[in-house]
């Protein structure tokens, strides 16, 4: 054993490696991404790892590995579980042979997601056991326990950390590589009565699953992760607090800090499904009032209410249902302390009593600076959006967006995202609008990674059903939003292998899109002309705007760094501010009321120079004289110094 200071996601990855994981697959999504990346960096020779094309593919690949006796891990964020839910629901009925852990990171807030959905509901819905860690240390231990449980009972198992567990840091004892479990899969053994899901098999297995989960509820009641800790003197009211995840850590810290005259029990729930029934009953029997602290939904609260009603216990249970805690968003150390203080009748520390340490007056703290989300300076997506906007000026249009960096195209002054539902949905939404309102010129924007993940089927639907729409693929040669992970179009795998790139043009032509053109969005005139011409055609058309993410270590980025930022020519600038009003680039600023360039941000992409009506901007790049689109390197063409293996 040795000590390391690691992020929660790194702890989970190291725990999986210590458990002898053989196969790891996933799709990048904050706050889960670093789990798979850490496995890729720290794995031994016996571990295979991949970024799959989407979460459904990852789940099915992991299932196949587990059918073959391997220990498999599949990683995703909470909305990715929606994509993987089809195989998941059937997989529980079929079962597994090797251990299969499904790492789903929930995102209270939400900080970087569309929804605040709670994976604990999915655990109950799919009847899959679930572990809910409260710290990096616990996550490291739990994933190893999850593999053991999965193999023992032949079931997938959820591990559900939330953002602050995933991204929090801790110093913890981890195993040395030579201490790792060595797991040797025995291979797939044909047995159609086990691996082929028929209604009769599902009916029989459903009964077994229910019986197993009743057994697990009893076993989890004795699990050390489900604990009851006593705080304070035994006087007066019989109070209890039930908590899970990071909320437990906050509650424990608050109870150690606050002064109170009577006893309170702190019940830690680490296995929300199956619920630890008998441990929960023992907790409830010693309480008159209980406060539930959890993110995101009232899962523990509902479990305790059910038990109290079923067994006729006279106990008042407070939480989200009673608005004793917040019904949405993240719990914080301060919010949990406040809810506990109110629940226990402890005076507000602002009155000068009731707390072992005084809080600072929040009014004395300076206000945080406002930083609205915006596309990076030099981002090629800004040029793509601008070209489409100018080409369609005065026309009735809809711009259907998608999930990624380019969702920020909704911000003013671009204002180019009219809809955004989920990954790949914009392609089909554009078709739906077009059917109802045929006078609307319909566009769908999608990134290159999302194109492969979930948009191809939408394009097939559009071609098959003879839609009239224009697909815009924003190809920046990476999965930029989650940290520059590779995808099928980059020419490199997570194992560091250089492979043939899947060509988007060929894919689009192969499914029947007859008009497909590729253009550099930073060549403004060419981009404008291409959009105007292609969008005017009938049927399904596609334009691929192709230029690497400015944050990548590409030849283009190196070229722009050498070129340097653009410059304002004061003698020509008439202060019309068109560059600021129409582009919204963070490198274009007002200084003493006049247009200026923030040289610390400007990448020299040259877009502002091309739209300036007075020619008052010089320098930067001239895309028409630079590297041609067909020659632009992708991620796979830029090996790292570490033998070509990809590192985010």
Give the tens place of pLDDT for each residue, 482-520: 777 777 777 788 787 888 888 999 999 999 999 999 999
Query: Which of 120-124, 161-165, 493-497 is predicted with the least confidence, judged by mean pLDDT?
Result: 493-497
Instruction: Please provide residue 189's backbone torsions phi and psi, each rounded to the nearest 5 degrees.
Output: -115, 120
pLDDT computed for residue 452 by the predictor: 87
Give the tens place of pLDDT for each residue, 246-289: 999 999 999 998 888 788 999 999 999 999 999 999 999 999 99
CB 79 within 8 A of CB 114: yes
pLDDT computed for residue 353 by the predictor: 45
For the chain, percent of residues with pLDDT exceeding 90? 67
Q: For residue 38, how many C-alpha atoms fall within 13 Å in the half-sphere facing its CB?
A: 20
Instruction: Please provide residue 441's backbone torsions phi and psi, each rounded to the nearest 5 degrees.
Output: -80, 115
Hey, what are 156's tokens?
């997938």
Among 130, 39, 192, 81, residue whose Cα is nearest residue 423: 81
pLDDT computed for residue 626 by the predictor: 44
Count the neighbouring beta carbons within 10 Å of the beta carbon of residue 592: 5
pLDDT computed for residue 637 by the predictor: 36
Q: How confident is the model at residue 628 (pLDDT cuts 50, 70, 90)?
A: very low
pLDDT computed for residue 634 by the predictor: 35
Instruction: Please provide residue 129's backbone torsions phi and psi, each rounded to the nearest 5 degrees.
Output: -55, 150
Count the neighbouring beta carbons within 10 Å of the beta carbon of residue 302: 17
Instruction: Please provide residue 316's backbone torsions phi and psi, each rounded to the nearest 5 degrees.
Output: -90, 125
What is the dihedral sign for C-alpha 481, 482, 485, 487? negative
Give the tens place of pLDDT for each residue, 581-623: 999 999 999 999 999 999 999 999 999 999 999 999 998 877 6
pLDDT computed for residue 124 by the predictor: 95
Give the integer Cα–Cα distance in Å for 415 and 19: 49
Query: Which of 45-54, 88-97, 110-119, 625-634 is predicted with the least confidence, judged by mean pLDDT?
Result: 625-634
Q: Is the pLDDT of residue 429 over 50?
A: yes
Q: How confident is the model at residue 237 (pLDDT cuts 50, 70, 90)?
A: confident
pLDDT computed for residue 556 by the predictor: 66
Q: Is the pLDDT of residue 635 over 70?
A: no
């Amino acid at each position: 054993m040795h000590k390391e200071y690691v992020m929660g996601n790194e702890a989970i990855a190291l725990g999986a490696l210590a458990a002898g994981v053989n196969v790891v697959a996933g799709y990048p999504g904050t706050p889960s991404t670093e789990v798979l990346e850490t496995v890729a960096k720290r794995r031994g020779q016996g571990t295979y790892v991949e970024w799959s094309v989407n979460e459904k593919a990852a789940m099915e690949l992991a299932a196949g590995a587990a059918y073959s006796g391997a220990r498999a891990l599949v990683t995703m964020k909470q909305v990715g579980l929606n994509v993987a839910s089809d195989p998941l629901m059937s997989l529980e009925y079929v079962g597994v042979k090797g251990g299969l852990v499904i790492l789903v990171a929930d995102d209270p807030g939400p900080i970087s997601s569309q929804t605040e959905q709670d994976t604990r509901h999915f655990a109950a819905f799919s009847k899959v056991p679930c572990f809910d860690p409260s710290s990096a240390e616990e996550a490291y231990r739990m994933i190893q326990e999850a593999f053991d449980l999965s193999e023992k009972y032949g079931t997938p198992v959820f591990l559900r950390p939330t953002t602050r567990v995933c991204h929090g840091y801790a110093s913890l004892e981890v195993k040395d590589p030579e201490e790792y479990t060595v797991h040797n899969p025995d291979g797939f053994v044909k047995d159609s009565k086990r691996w082929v899901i028929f209604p009769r098999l599902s009916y029989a297995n459903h009964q077994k699953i229910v019986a197993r989960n009743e057994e697990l509820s009893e076993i989890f009641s004795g699990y050390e992760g489900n604990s009851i800790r006593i705080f304070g003197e035994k006087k007066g009211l019989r109070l209890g607090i039930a908590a899970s995840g990071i909320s437990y850590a906050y509650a424990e810290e608050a109870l150690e800090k606050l002064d109170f005259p009577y006893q309170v029990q702190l019940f830690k729930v680490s296995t929300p499904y199956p619920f630890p029934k008998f441990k929960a009953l023992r907790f409830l029997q010693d309480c008159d009032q209980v406060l539930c602290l959890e993110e995101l939904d009232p899962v523990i609260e509902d479990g305790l209410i059910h038990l109290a009603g079923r067994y006729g216990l006279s106990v008042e249970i407070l939480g989200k249902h009673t608005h004793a805690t917040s019904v949405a968003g993240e719990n914080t150390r301060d919010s949990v302390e406040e809810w506990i203080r109110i629940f226990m009748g402890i005076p507000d520390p602002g009155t000068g009593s009731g707390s072992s340490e005084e809080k600072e007056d929040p009014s004395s703290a300076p206000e945080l600076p406002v930083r609205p989300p915006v596309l990076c300076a030099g981002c090629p997506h800004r040029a793509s959006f601008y070209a489409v906007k100018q080409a369609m000026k005065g026309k009735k249009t809809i711009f259907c967006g998608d999930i990624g960096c380019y969702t920020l195209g909704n911000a003013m002054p671009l204002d180019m995202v009219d809809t955004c539902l989920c990954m790949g949905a914009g392609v089909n939404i554009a078709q739906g609008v077009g059917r109802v309102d045929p006078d609307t010129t319909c566009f769908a924007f999608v990134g290159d990674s999302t194109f492969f993940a979930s948009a191809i089927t939408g394009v097939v639907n559009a071609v098959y059903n003879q839609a009239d729409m224009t697909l815009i693929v924003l190809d920046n040669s990476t999965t930029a939003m989650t940290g520059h992970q590779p995808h099928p179009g980059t020419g490199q795998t997570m194992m560091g292998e250089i492979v043939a790139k899947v060509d988007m043009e060929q894919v689009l032509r192969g499914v029947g899109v007859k008009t497909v053109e590729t253009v550099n969005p930073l060549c403004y005139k060419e981009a404008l002309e291409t959009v105007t011409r292609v969008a005017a055609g009938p049927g399904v058309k596609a334009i691929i705007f192709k230029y690497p993410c400015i944050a990548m270590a590409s030849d283009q980025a190196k070229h722009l760094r050498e070129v340097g930022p653009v410059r304002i020519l004061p003698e020509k600038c008439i202060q019309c501010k068109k560059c600021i009003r129409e582009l919204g680039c963070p490198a274009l600023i007002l200084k003493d009321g006049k247009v200026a360039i923030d040289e610390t941000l400007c990448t020299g992409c040259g877009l502002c120079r091309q739209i300036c009506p007075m020619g008052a901007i010089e320098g930067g790049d001239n895309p028409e004289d630079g590297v041609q689109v067909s020659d632009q390197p992708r991620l796979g063409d830029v090996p790292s110094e570490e033998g070509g293996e990809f590192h985010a």
